[in-house]
Structures are given as C-alpha cells and as structure tokens.
Chains A and B, each alone.
Chain A
C-alpha cells in the first residue's frame, strides 16, 4: 500500500519564503505545491547515500524540503531532542549510515558526515505529479527523554504521519476550505512543531512561513505582513511574552498552543489580543496530538476520534471492550492505542474520565517536565549529574512552581563536588542537554540532608533548598 507525499492542489500555496535562500536562487514570496515537489525531487537526487538523515535545518521551508526529500529517497529522518554535539555523536554511533543535514545555521559535531543543503541548487521546473510513498516506510524517528535515562526512539511510519495529520486537521483546524497563512514560533524538529508546521501544510489548506520568530515585535511584523485569515502555532511561554509586551497584534483567527499547561486566564488574554479562538492541544512525542480544548471557555478535553485510552487499573470484565473506563474514574496513567500507531503507547498522566471522549487532565507524572514545548526527564538529569566527574552526591529536582506569574519553573540542582566549580558542572550539562533543561540555580553544597537509609524526602529537600537560597541573599 502507498500513500501520497501530500494532498494539496499543485497550484495551491504551501509555503511563504521570507528569507532569501541561496539554494532557491534567493526567491522571496509564496511557493506553490508543484514548485515544492519539484524542489524536493531535485534535493532527493543530491542527498548523500545513507539510511538516516539527522535534520537540523533551522529554516522551516528547508526543513520541510529536506524531510520530504529524505522520504522520497527512502531515508529515515532522525529528530533529536536537541542540537547538542554529544546528541549528534550518540545518534551517529547508534544509527549506522547516518549523516547530518543542515542549512548553515547548525553547529555539527566534529567528524560526522554532513551536508549543507543551502549550498545546493534546488531551483528548477515544477512537478505536478505527487510522489507516492510506501505506507510502512519508516519516515521518521522522534526521540524523547526516557525514564531510564536513554533517549527513547518513537517510530513514525509514513502511514502514522499521514493518518494522524488527517485526524489533527479535523480536530484542531477551523472548518472550511479557506487557505490560512501560518506563522509558527516552535522548532520543526519537535513533534508539536513537526505535526503542525510541517505535516499539516502537506495535507490541509495552510501556507506556512519559513522563519521561526521569538520576539513579540518580530511576530507582530511578520503577522501583519501575512494575508488574512491567519493562524499562529505557539506555546504558552511565547504567547505569554506576546501578551505582556503590550504590543497591538493584527487579527489572528485561529491560535494553536501546545499544552504546558496554559492557564484559563492567559488563554482569555491571548484570544482578546488576537481577536481569535485559541485551541490548546494535548499530545506527546510517542502518540502525537491526542486531544484539544478551547481553554478560555472549557476545562474539559476532547479526545480525537481514532484514539482509544485504556487505564492501567481497568478491569477486563466490563463486557463490551470499547468502554474500558467508567465516567468519573480517575486513572494514574494508561495506554493509548490507535489503528495508525505502530504500537500502543504508555501515558503517565493522571486523567479523570467524564465520558467516552471527554476528560480532565489532573497532572503529568513527577518525572516528565515540559519547558517551551520540549520534554525532559528529571531522572535522566539526575543520572547525568551523578555521571559528572568529581560529583560525589547531588540531586536535580523541580521546585514548587511560581503560579502567580506563569513563569517557567526550571529544574534545580544541589551538588556535592568539592573539587569542581559551578562552571564545570554547567558545561557538563550543556554537552548533553537542551539549554532550557540546564538546572537553575545549580548550587554547590557541602552535603545533602539525606536520611539514614539514604532517602531524600521531597519536604526535607525543599526546606533545605530554601535554607541554602536564604544564605545566598
């Protein structure tokens, strides 16, 4: 069985290039689907041989071109959790025949084969024939933090990506066949950015901007330059900055936000600022997007069709099989399955079921943390800390969140390392982790308040942390 690489009309606008790209003859403006396919085919011809491509392209259009070209050439795209050099080297050791594919902006680890696709010539004739791809072809592997400390590989066959994109389009995009101008503040490499800013435009009527913007004024200018109707893809951190900047924003009819989670209050402010509707989307790298809600108006999540949740503590004797939960039941995790997923996936969230497709999210597991749409494991950070040379004891943990400002809560580290400096330890983390997960503060202490059995109860740890902080000021 084969499935198309995209489902757009050859003449439809699929992307908007705002930055001059040498590979495309520095052309700026909207790109038609037929031109996109032509460029992807030309790139596929010029890719090096290999089985795996580590796609680190910063430019969203070049990322999408490279992602599709790799699929056409039957190469699996590896989507690392971060750009750290140690991560690239680790992937290269695990996946024989891997190479790094970038557009000039990435720092590649020494000794790895790489190609800067922005130095190639991709301009040329459009192609109106959409390639078909084997449905079982392993299009991508998305890596997430595993609780074991090793990154977990989540397999994404083409069938999974196509079918989940069609489901996502139905649940998170506005109805109707208007073409939306899309701006995204999230990287294409993470599952949320991949699903919304790379895959959705291949299957729905979206024209996505190539740049990834951060500062509110840049976002304001880029949005203003786009034709209406507009759609914004973002996260709570970025949306909060836009609201607090006090800058007026042009109307954005639809805003998609990854859950972190987002407060009802901020959701209301975002809707007022953009005069549009905000849909918060619940998902994870293992499954992809699963549920959404209009956060300003509703607390309850709506599970997408095609997905089925089975709680861990459900009894198998409830008869009809497709109703594995009872209304009002609170479950500590469970499994999510769907016809398009290669296997069912474990969710560690606390969920209260309210009906067949409706639930309340009561919290994520203590181990997994999420910062700006990226997920990290506290356990993994602890292993990393204890593996640092010179560290005799130490702990990484999440302090109590500062709920009053919706500011980011960062992991904190208390470290016993008599021969090391703070800078040594920060450097050690920086080699392996995305910068947002580097503990802050990282404090050197003489010892940790461990109990006789070696345990470090949370209450004691927080009290100790507060005491150490007080001594600082």
Chain B
C-alpha cells in the first residue's frame, strides 16, 4: 500500500466516521484503492454521506454531473486533492 499523507489521513478519518466503517482503521485505507465497487465497496448512499461530511467540514459542495466529482470519488488520494483544491474553510 502507498503511504498516506497527513491530509489523506484526515480525509480517511472523516470517511470512517461518516460511514460508520467500524471495522476499518483510517490509517489502513490505501490512498490508491477504489472507494466504490470492488475496493471499499461504497454505494450511492455513501456518496451522499461523504458529500455531506465534506460540505460540513471543508465547505466543498459535490455535483454529480461534474467530471471533477466523478474523478474525485476514484480513491482517497483523488478525493483529498479535490477537497484541497476547493476548500473554503
């Protein structure tokens, strides 16, 4: 597994908290592993929960018809980059 940056660890902790992923340690989420489908196995309700948690913590709103959002949801690394490019708080 690729090593997490501290910014990625923050986002990983947000995911574990928002999605009740009690059986996963934030530090164990591979930054390159897909979040949806085969990797962490997240679904559309999770996408909604993640979007909500991110808007509350970082002031970033996600949109589905935006290619950036689709790319952002690829893995922990892309999500962290997306947040830091758009954060307003």
By a beta-carbon cutoff of 8 Å, the part of chain A in contact with chain B is 213-218, 221, 237-238, 241, 244-247, 371-372, 407-408, 410, 422, 426-427, 430, 435-436, 438, 440-443, 469, 472-473
Contact = CB atoms under 8 A, between A and B. Distances in A.
A441 B48 contact: no
A244 B52 contact: yes
B64 A246 contact: no
Nearest to A473: B22
A247 B45 contact: no
A244 B56 contact: yes
Given A426-B41, A441-B22, 14 more contacts: A215-B63, A216-B52, A218-B63, A237-B45, A238-B48, A241-B51, A244-B52, A245-B61, A246-B55, A408-B45, A427-B38, A435-B42, A441-B24, A472-B22
7 contacts: A215-B69, A216-B55, A217-B62, A245-B51, A245-B55, A246-B56, A427-B38
B48 A241 contact: yes
B23 A442 contact: yes
Contact of B51 (A215, A410, A469): A215
What 9 A-B pairs are tightest by C-beta distance, nearest first?
Answer: A435-B43, A441-B23, A217-B61, A241-B48, A441-B22, A215-B62, A217-B63, A215-B51, A218-B63
B43 A469 contact: no
A14 B69 CA distance: 31
Chain B interface helix/strand/loop/mixed:
loop
Contacts of B42: 435
Contacts of A438: 41, 43
A408 B55 CA distance: 19
Given A245-B55, A247-B61, A214 B20 contact: no
Given A213-B64, A214-B48, A410 B43 contact: no
A132 to B, nearest CB: 38
Contacts of B62: 215, 217
A469 B64 CA distance: 34
Contact of A216 (B20, B24, B38, B51): B51
Contacts of A371: 45
Contact of A430 (B41, B48, B63): B41
B52 to A, nearest CB: 5
B45 A440 contact: no
A238 B64 CA distance: 14
A83 B22 CA distance: 27
B41 A410 contact: no
Nearest to A217: B61
A221 B61 CA distance: 12
Nearest to A222: B65
A391 B68 CA distance: 41
B74 interface: no
A440 B69 CA distance: 25
A247 B51 CA distance: 13
B21 interface: yes
A80 B47 CA distance: 23
Interface centre among A217, A238, A438, A442 (most CB of B within 10 A): A217
Contacts of A247: 61
Contacts of A441: 21-24
A372 to B, nearest CB: 6
Contact of A218 (B22, B38, B43, B65): B65
A213 B62 CA distance: 12
B44 interface: yes
A416 to B, nearest CB: 16
Given A215-B64, A245-B61, A407 B51 contact: no
Nearest to A220: B61
Given A246-B55, A436-B43, A218 B64 contact: yes
Nearest to A408: B45
A241 B52 contact: yes
Contacts of A426: 41
A223 to B, nearest CB: 14
B80 to A, nearest CB: 19
B22 A469 contact: yes
A138 to B, nearest CB: 31
Contacts of B69: 215
Contacts of A372: 44-45
B48 A237 contact: yes
Nearest to B42: A435
A241 B48 CA distance: 7
